[in-house]
Every structure is written in C-alpha cells, then in structure tokens.
Amino acid sequence: LLRIIAGLEPPTSGTVDFQEAHPVVRFMFQDDRILPWMSVLENLSFKSRDLKVVTRAKQMLELVGLSEFASHYPEALSGGQKQRVALARA
C-alpha cells in the first residue's frame, strides 16, 4: 500500500484517493543509504554551495537533533543517528 501511495507501483484494482490534489510523498529506505565519503551536512546538501540549500540542510539537522554532527562522517554515527540523517534528507 505504501508503494502505491508513493507512486512506485500502480494499484492492481481499486483506487487511491487523497484529500489534497497533489500530496507530497517521501520515500525512505529501511537502509540509511547515506554516502560514507560525505559528511552529514554534505549528505543533506549534496555539497551544494547554494546558501538556501545549505541553510535548509542545517534546519533539517536541527529538527532531527543532529546539528552538532554536521561535520561528522557516517562511520562516526550510530545506526539510529544514520536513520535520522536519512530522515532529514527525505
């Protein structure tokens, strides 16, 4: 059902109706899928130099409680912290 809602698979029967005209759907893998050669902040901003992108990435880190880990690499994070980085990126 979640894959159908995310638009990754078509329904085999029936329909899926949303209350909103264009719902925003994010898909997060069970594996964290963060890039080990990039810092936490770089994983969120994909090394963008655009100030808006970097600022938004920092805001997302703050929301998941990982602001102090922005310069850390994934190997220094626990599994739960890696999942929160993936959630912030989503």
What digits encode the pLDDT tens for the residues 16-69?
777 766 667 676 778 888 999 999 999 999 989 899 999 999 999 999 999 999
Amino acid at 11: P
Tokens representing residue 64 in the block:
């998941």
Query: What's the token pair of residue 90?
Result: 């989503």
Q: Which of 64, 61, 69, 28 is nearest to 44 (CA)?
A: 61
- CA-to-CA separations, 55 to 2, 10, 19, 28, in angstroms, rounded: 30, 36, 31, 22
Which sequence spans correspond to the domains of the chain? 2-89
Q: Token pair 């329909």 is at which residue?
A: 15
Say what percent of the chain tops pLDDT 90: 58
- Give the domain 2-89 fold: Rossmann fold (3.40.50)
* Threshold 0.85, pTM exceeds: no
